[in-house]
Amino acid sequence: MKILLDHKQLDITLQRLAHQLAENHLTFHDTVIIGIQPRGIWLSQRIARIVQEITTGNVQYGKLDITFYRDDIHQQGDMHLPAHTDIPFSIEDKSVVLVDDVLHTGRTIRAAMDALIDFGRPKKVELLVLIDRRFSRELPIQPDYVGRTIDTIITQKVKVYWQEKDNKDEVVLLD
């Protein structure tokens, strides 16, 4: 097991990501942040909170469940149980920042984009991830904002712990 980000590094990384978002968007009037269920929620909540602190105006934040859009529904023994989708605003003509904790094969993001399009036609979709496992993509999908880029092999696992859920802030690489 290797610690990729400890509590303090994670905090600095989140601050940087939020500031990069604010730098590129100036105002969040036409930009919304949407976290991908289940694990992107914690990251997106933190990012939305920091962005709210450093910008003026209300930052709109939602949650998107992608269970019914997955391409592996019948490849696993068990069914994935859905989580709640909560997008209490229109995404029509908005810039959407999709947020997930770990980017690996890119299949989750493909499903998320399909799910998102069912809610309207966004002007632009960007992707923010905490950990980018590069060179392991199965689809042509790249992030716009990255916390940490790492090289991994398929058997390794990246685990992200959040204070709100796991009582600690930490990102580790498991062999």
- For residue 82, the minimal CB distance to another protein (Å) is 4
How big is the CA angle at 7 (ends 6 and 13), to the nearest 5 degrees? 85
Binding region for another protein (CB under 8 A) out of 23-31, 96-104, 110-118, 150-158: 110-118
Alpha helices in the chain (DSSP H): 7-25, 40-54, 107-117, 163-166
Give the number of residues in contact with another protein, rule: CB under 8 A.
22
Q: 119 or 156, CB closer to another protein?
A: 119
Separation CA 145–CA 16 (nearest Å) = 10
Q: 104 or 110, CB closer to another protein?
A: 110
Q: 139 or 174, CB closer to another protein?
A: 139
- For residue 60, the minimal CB distance to another protein (Å) is 17
Separation CA 49–CA 31 (nearest Å) = 14
Binding to another protein in span 117-136, by CB under 8 A:
118-120
Output the six-digit token pair for 49: 């909170």
Contact predicate 112/36, CB 8 Å? yes
* Side-chain-facing half-sphere of 95: CA atoms under 13 Å: 16
Counting contacts by CB under 8 A, is residue 161 touching another protein?
no
Burial of 85-99, coded b for 16+ CB within 10 Å and e otherwise, reads: bebeeebeebbbbbb
Binding to another protein in span 43-82, by CB under 8 A:
65, 67-70, 73-74, 76-82
Counting contacts by CB under 8 A, is residue 106 touching another protein?
no
Q: By the criterion CB under 8 A, which residues form the site for another protein?
A: 65, 67-70, 73-74, 76-85, 114-115, 118-120
